[in-house]
Amino acid sequence: MKKRDGIAIHRVFDLLKTYEAGAERASVPVFSWKSEGSWKHLLGVEYERKATQLSQGLIRWGIKSGDRVATILKNGPEWNLLDMALLQCGAIQVPIYPTISQANFTYIFRDAGIVIAFVSEQETFRHIQSIAPLCPNLRAVFITKEEGKNSWEGFFEVDPSARRELQLRKEAIRAQDLATVIYTSGTTGKPKGVMLSHHNLVSNFLTVSRLLEAAPYYRKRIRKALSFLPLCHVYERIINYFYQYLGIEVYYVPSLEALPAAFAEVKPDMLCAVPRILEKSYARFLLRGRYLKGPARALFLYALRQASQYEQDAARGNRYRIRLYLARLLVLRKWRQAFGGQLKVIVSGGASLNEKLVRIYWAAGIRVMDGYGLTETSPVVAVGTFQKNGVRFGTVGPVIEDVEVITAPDGEILVRGPNVMLGYLNRPQRTAEVIDAEGWFHTGDIGSLDQDGFLRITDRKKEIFKTSGGKYIAPQVLENQFRASDFIENILVIGEGRNFPAAIVRPNFVYLEGWCTVKGISWESPERCILIPAVIARFQREMAIKNEALDHPERIKRFALIADTWDVENGALSPTLKLRRRELQDHYGGLIEGIYSGTQGQDVLAAP
C-alpha cells in the first residue's frame, strides 16, 4: 500500500497516524464547520486525539470487535470521529440516512443486529427509541449534539485501562476485514447491506488520490473543499477520505440552502456534487440573463453560445479562443463568482450529467470531472483525470487503475477489482447473483467502452422497458435529453407495455416565472401557471424540439405538467437525487391512466 508521510495506509484508520503529535499535519485544520455564526476548526492533532479517546470510550462501554454500530448523523467532524473510532476498535459502522422511513429503520437495525446507535437530532433519537422494543440487540442510543442524559460526551473521558486493549485490537485488524455495512436506498424493495472491507475503501481513495497527485499544477492549488452531500453515502465518504489523505481542508455545509453563503465565505477550490445541483446553479444563472435587455442580453446569449461549443485544448482554434476569452471576461466570470471565485474542480456522480452542461462549466473555468460508481464498488469505477485528454465529454472518464471493466453481450457493465464489495449482509444468494464465479460484479447498468477506454453509461438494465409495439426504451437517455431544456427541472418517462412513450414533467418554475414576466403573463403560483394556455403551448413546442433528436419510436407523444415538488423528503428522489421510478409511478397511477386515455395531459405537436 502507498505511504503518506512515511506511514503505510492499508486500513482506513491508518490515516489518523498522519495527524499524530509532531507530524507535519498535526497543527493544521482538517475539518471546519459553522457554529454560532463563525467557522470553527478541528486541528489534525485534535482529530487524532479525540478519535482515540472515543475508541477507548467505546471499549469501556462494552463495544466488541465485530459489533455493528449505527450512525445517523449530519455532516460534520462528529461523523469522522465516530467513523475512525469505530474502525480502529474493530466495530462495524452502519451509516444510515436520517430521512428513511420508520419501517426501514426497523428493518436495518434488525438485519444488521445494531447494538448501539449515535444520532445528531432529538427527532431521530425519538424515532429510534420508539423502535427499540422491536430491535433485540439494541442496547443504547446516544446524541452527539447535546449534553446531559444520553449525550456521547462521556465517551471522551480519558481511560488508560482501555489504551492497551485498543492497541491490541488495532494490531489484529487486517486490510481484508469488514469495515462498514452501507445499506442501499431500497428503490426496488428491501434495502441491501453492502459489506465493504478496509481494502475496498483504501484501494479506492488511494487510486483516486493518485489522479490529483499526478497533476502538480492542480494539486498545489486545491486546498479547501466544501462537503454537503450526505457522508452516509459512500460517494461523499470516499471523497472525504481523499481529502484527508491529500491534506485538503474540509468545510461542512449543513444544507443546500447554506451553500451560497458558504461559497462566498470559504471560496472553495473543490467540491463533490450530483447533477441536479449543477443543473440548478445553471438555471439560476440563466434566470439572471433572462431579465437583461438590449445589448446586455445579446452579450449574455453570445457568451452562452460560445460556452456550449467548448472543446478542450483549444481544439476549435485561435479564433474561438478569443471569443471564449471575451465570453469569460464579460459574462462567465460573474457566474464563477457565485461559487466564490476560486472553484477549480467539481466531481460529479450519482447520476448522468448532461454533456452540454459540462461544456458550459468548463468554459467558465470550472473543470467538471464526471464519474461513475456504485455502493458495491466502493464506489469509483471510472472518472475523468487531470491529465491531457483525461476527460471526454459525454463519458464518465476512463476506468481507474487496478479495476477491470467489460460489457456483457446485452451491454451490461461488469466490474472486477479490489474495490468490489465482500457481498450483501445476510444475503449469500443475492451476492451470488451479482458476483459471478470469475469475480465479475454485474452492475445492472448499460454502457459501452470506447477504443480509448472511456466509459459511457446509457441506462439502468432494470429500468429499460418495452412498449406494446416491441420497441425497447431507455428512459434515462430520454430524460437527459429533455432535462437539457431550460424549461424542464425534472421528467419521468413512462410507457412500459403502452403503445408509445409519454412523460410527467415538472417545469423549472424559477426559469418559467422569468419567462412569464418577459412575456407579460401574470404569475400567481406554479399550480395556476401550468394551466395557462400560453405556457402549455410553450411546453408543447419545447417537447417537440427535443423530440427531433430522437428516433420516432422513442419520441414522447403525450405529457402532463405537474407542480408537485420532487425531493428526498417526500420519497420522489433518492438521497443522491435520482428518480424513484416505482414510487413515482405508483403515486401518479391515476394521472398516467389519464395520459394514455386522453383525458389528461397534452399532445406533443409537430416540431416548429
Pairing of strands 380-383, 345-348: unpaired
Burial class (CB in 10 A: 0-12, 13-18, 19+), 310: buried
pLDDT of residue 294: 87
Selection from 298, 320, 318, 300 nearest residue 309 by Cα = 320
Query: What stretch of H or E contains 321?
Result: helix 318-327
pLDDT of residue 317: 80
Residue 607 has pLDDT above 60, yes or no: no
Q: Which residues contact residue 569 at a Cβ distance below 8 angstroms, ignoring those fewer than 6 apart?
A: 99
Cell of 236: 461523499
Do 93 and 86 contact (CB within 8 A), yes or no? yes
Burial class (CB in 10 A: 0-12, 13-18, 19+), 590: exposed
Residue type, 294: G
For residues 394-408, give the mean pLDDT.
Answer: 95
Question: In this predicted model, what pLDDT tens digit does every residue of 445-494 receive, in sequence order?
Answer: 989 999 999 999 887 777 888 787 777 788 888 888 898 888 999 999 99
**Average pLDDT, rounded, for the chain:** 90
Rounded Cα–Cα distance for residues 305 and 312 (Å): 16
Query: What stretch of H or E contains 44?
Result: helix 44-61
pLDDT of residue 3: 63
Residue type, 255: S
pLDDT of residue 256: 85
Q: What is the CA radius of gyration of the chain?
A: 25
Residue 498, phi-psi category: left (phi > 0), alpha (psi -120 to 50), beta (remainder): beta
Do 269 and 347 contact (CB within 8 A), yes or no? no
Sequence length of the chain is 608
Stronger pLDDT, 394 or 440, i.e. the higher one: 440
Residue 557 has pLDDT above 80, yes or no: yes
pLDDT of residue 575: 74
Residue type, 240: N
Rounded Cα–Cα distance for residues 356 and 604 (Å): 24
Question: In this predicted model, what pLDDT tens digit does every residue of 152-187 receive, in sequence order?
Answer: 988 998 778 899 999 999 999 999 999 999 998 644
Give span(s): CATH 3.40.50.12780, the chain.
Answer: 3-173, 269-461
Residue 547 has pLDDT above 50, yes or no: yes
CA angle 129, 132, 135 (to 5 degrees): 155
pLDDT of residue 187: 45
Residue 189 has pLDDT above 70, yes or no: no
Residue type, 185: S
For residues 221-231, give the mean pLDDT.
Answer: 94
Selection from 10, 22, 20, 26 nearest residue 247 by Cα = 26
Query: What stretch of H or E contains 478?
Result: helix 475-483
pLDDT of residue 185: 65
Please state which CATH class domain 3-173 belongs to.
alpha beta
Do 250 and 28 contact (CB within 8 A), yes or no? no
Strands of the 249-252 sheet, one edge to the other:
38-43, 29-35, 249-252, 224-227, 270-273, 345-348, 367-373, 380-383
Please state which CATH class domain 464-603 belongs to.
alpha beta
CA angle 72, 78, 84 (to 5 degrees): 95
For residues 199-224, give the mean pLDDT.
Answer: 90
Percent of the chain with pLDDT over 70: 97
pLDDT of residue 593: 93
Question: In this predicted model, what pLDDT tens digit does every residue of 494-539 receive, in sequence order?
Answer: 998 888 999 999 999 988 988 998 889 999 899 999 999 999 999 9
For residues 19-41, give the mean pLDDT.
Answer: 91
pLDDT of residue 553: 84
Looking from the CA of 424 toward its CB, the CA atoms found within 13 Å total 19
Q: Which residues contact residue 258 at a Cβ distance below 8 angstroms, ignoring those fewer than 6 apart?
A: 34, 228
Percent of the chain with pLDDT over 90: 66
Rounded Cα–Cα distance for residues 217 and 208 (Å): 17
- 269-461 has which fold? Rossmann fold (3.40.50)
For residues 374-378, give the mean pLDDT.
Answer: 96
Give span(s): CATH 3.30.300.30, the chain.
Answer: 464-603
